[in-house]
Amino acid sequence: MSDNSVQIGFVGLGKMGGNMVHRIKRDSDFKVVAFDFNAEAVATAEGVGAEGASSLEELVSKLDAPRMVWVMVPSGDATTETVNKLAELLEPGDTIIDGGNSRWTDDKERSARLEPTGIKYVDVGTSGGVWGLQEGYCMMAGGPDESIAQLTPILDVLAPPFSEQHGPGWGHMGPVGAGHYVKMVHNGVEYALMQSYAEGFNLFDACEYDLDNAKIAHLWNQASVVRSWLCELAALAFEQEGNDLGELEPVVADSGEGRWTVEDATDKRVPVPAIALSLFERYSSQGHSDFANKVNSALRAQFGGHAVERKS
**Could you list the active site residues?**
183, 190
Among residues 249, 93, 112, 268, the alpha carbon closest in space to that of 184 is found at: 268
Q: What are phi and psi of 237, to 5 degrees?
A: -65, -45
Among residues 100, 86, 96, 76, the alpha carbon closest in space to that of 16 is found at: 100
For 20, other C-beta atoms within 10 Å of its C-beta total 27
How many helices, marked H, and strands, marked E, lie in the chain? 13, 8
CA distances from 223 to 37, 199, 228, 239 (A): 46, 21, 10, 21
Q: How many CA atoms lie within 13 A of 223 on its CB side?
A: 0
Task: For residues 145 and 293, give the distance between their C-alpha atoms in angstroms, rounded to a whole number.
Answer: 52
Q: Is 16 in contact with 132 (CB distance < 8 Å)? A: yes
Composition of the chain by helix, strand, coil, percent to 5? 55, 15, 35
Task: For residues 99 and 104, give the distance between their C-alpha atoms in angstroms, rounded to a whole number.
Answer: 12
CA–CA–CA angle 48, 183, 287 (5° rounding): 100
Q: Is 132 in contact with 20 (CB distance < 8 Å)? A: yes
CA distances from 304 to 81, 152, 287, 293 (A): 56, 66, 26, 16
